[in-house]
Structure 1
Amino acid sequence: MTMFHLHDRLQADTAPVAELPLCRVLLMDNRVWPWLILVPARNGLTEIHQLPREDQHRLVDEIAWASRTLETLFSPDKINVGALGNLVPQLHIHVIARSKADPAWPGPVWGSGFAERYSPEERNNLIRKIGEEMRQR
Structure 2
Amino acid sequence: MESKRDIYTGIIESTTFHYQAFAAERDELLQLLQKEVATNEALRQKLEEEDESNQCIAELQKAEISALAKKVFELENKLEQIKDENSCCICLEPWQADSDHRRISLYCGHLFGECCIREVLSNAEACPVCHQQADSNQLHYIYGPENIIS
TM over 0.5: no
Whichever of the two has the greater Rg, that structure is 2
Higher helix share: 2
Q: TM-score normalised to the size of structure 2?
A: 0.21
Which structure would you say has the larger RCO, counting Cα contacts within 8 Å and 6 or more residues apart?
A: 1
